Chain A
Amino acid sequence: MLFKDEEIILLVIAGTAIVMLLGVFIISFLLIYQKKQNKNVLEKTQLKSSFQQELLKTRMEIQEETLNHISRELHDNITQVLSFVKLNLGVLGRNLGEQEKMRVNDNRELIAQSISDLRNLSKSLSFEHISVMGLVKTLEIEAERINRSGIINLSLSVEGDRYALGEQRELVLFRIFQEALNNALKYAQADNFKMSLYYKAQMFNLTIEDDGVGFEPELLKDKGGSGLRNIVNRAALIGASAIINSSPGNGCSINLSLNPLVQETYVNGTYSNSPG
């Protein structure tokens, strides 16, 4: 006899134990593999999301840099040239007759008005003015400038005790306002544009409304609404939630809310051309 009975029984027990352990190994491997795969998927999603945020941040940095460059050019070059022209006209006017002198003075006033408008425009383009004056003051200046131009009736209301939201957040909110205003002028043909800022202890709200032609809500999902999507993306960058409501013939309203106490990680860094 090759094996004793006891040896066969031992073999059966050992063999069964080994194959059962093999089963446990297979199951454990599957569970661990699945867990790792889920972890990888999560990491991939997070990486994708942070990449998107980084992309948006970079795009905004470039935009800010360009706007700042234009602002400086307007302030340091064009307004200086215009000031020189105004000065020259003043000198020229001394040697002219009364009628010509009046016409030269009219031109000087027009140039002075242009210089003033360009300076205001320069201020609205540059983030430096926003960081120095703050969001509310900048918006007030902007409202005054727009109303003076007569292209649209802009009203601004501020409620609650004002507090600083941080340079980056205020800049993003200002750019959102500019985007919304641009939409109202360019596409909505609105006559009135209303902005309301609510400063509460734990919540800041910004509501922008216009009485323009409005649009289909589906536009937000389409590629066509890139300006509107920009608003939502910019809001997300500072940890704010943006709700856009509109329907044809009923204008558009944008409601932004953010918790001023929560520091958004994506805006911790300063822009390359910012004073900070």
Chain B
Amino acid sequence: MLDYIYFYFELFAFFVCLYTYKKLDRNFKVFLPFLAFIVIYEFANLKYWTLWHHTNAWSNNLETIIEIIIYARFISSLDKRKQYRKKVRIVLIIIVLFSFIDMIFIQGFFMLNTIAIVFQYSMLTVLVCLYYFNLINNVDESLDIIRYPPFWATAGILFYTLAFLFFYIAFGYMAYKKNYQFFILARVIPNIACLILYSLLSVAFIYQYKKASSMNNIKTL
């Protein structure tokens, strides 16, 4: 049961997103189809429907590519500078291209593309840090960061990528040694990372919902 805790949190985040969808900002709306995809993908994984050549690494590789596209686009959409968004798009294209190169030429289609994943998560970490740096320097004086939805969403992404970073660095070396302790780590780290990411995403959706509701109340007053 505890092995699937990440799945329950994904499901929870999806339902929170579904409930709050109407009042979400434009840049948050992308999370509904994305979370729907994640829930379906993880369910298929749990049922072993994605096994092909005795591995689901191929689907995981594709899933992480979709993940980085969604998260990177989301983080860059929080920045108003067009030039910055353009730069992020270029880096994203390079990372995605490298992921396909890794998939086809370096690590292979049926092996987990850990090199590409490390690059993807590093990029997301840098993007979140840049976003926070920008938030510190250009923050609106009246901003209450505790109730600021993008802050919670990006915090979730930051913890998620940081939690996986060392795991994927060692994965290529350890996974194929069939080490039992690493197997435990492979269970614990994704659970913790998903728990943090999806709970913080849910918090972001709820704050977004509350914010939109209070704005509506002010308008009707």
Contact = CB atoms under 8 A, between A and B. Distances in A.
Contact of B146 (A23, A31, A41): A31
B132 A19 contact: no
Contacts of B170: 8-9, 11-12
A5 B158 contact: no
A19 B162 contact: yes
Given A19-B165, A22-B162, A13 B185 contact: yes
B129 A26 contact: yes
Given A5-B181, A15-B166, A19-B162, A37 B173 contact: no
B163 A20 contact: yes
Contacts of B146: 31
A133 B201 CA distance: 70
Interface stretch (B28-36, B46-54, B136-144): B136-144
B167 A12 contact: yes
Nearest to B152: A27
Contacts of B135: 30
B162 A8 contact: no
Contacts of A22: 162
Given A9-B182, A13-B185, A34-B139, A26 B132 contact: yes
B174 interface: yes
B90 interface: no
A27 B145 CA distance: 11
**Which 9 A-B pairs have CB atoms at the shortest separation, nearest pair first?**
A15-B166, A19-B162, A34-B145, A16-B166, A12-B170, A23-B162, A41-B141, A12-B166, A9-B181
B139 A5 contact: no
Given A26-B158, A41-B141, A33 B185 contact: no
Interface of A: 5-6, 8-9, 11-13, 15-16, 19-20, 22-23, 26-27, 30-31, 33-34, 37-38, 41
B211 to A, nearest CB: 17
Interface in B176-196: 177, 179, 181-182, 185, 189
Contacts of A9: 170, 174, 179, 181-182, 185
Interface string B115-156: 000000000000001001001100101111110000100010
Contacts of A33: 136
Nearest to A5: B179
Nearest to A42: B141
Interface of B: 129, 132, 135-136, 139, 141-146, 151, 155, 158-159, 162-163, 165-167, 169-170, 173-174, 177, 179, 181-182, 185, 189
Contacts of B141: 37-38, 41
A17 to B, nearest CB: 9
A31 B145 contact: yes
B189 A16 contact: yes
Contacts of A26: 129, 132, 158
A8 B173 CA distance: 9
21 contacts: A5-B177, A5-B179, A8-B173, A9-B174, A9-B181, A12-B166, A12-B182, A15-B166, A15-B169, A16-B166, A19-B165, A19-B166, A20-B163, A26-B129, A26-B132, A30-B135, A31-B145, A34-B136, A34-B139, A37-B139, A38-B141
B189 A5 contact: no
Nearest to A27: B155
B85 to A, nearest CB: 22
A20 B179 contact: no
Contacts of A12: 166-167, 169-170, 174, 182, 185
A41 B139 CA distance: 12
Contacts of B162: 16, 19-20, 22-23
A273 to B, nearest CB: 41
A77 to B, nearest CB: 55
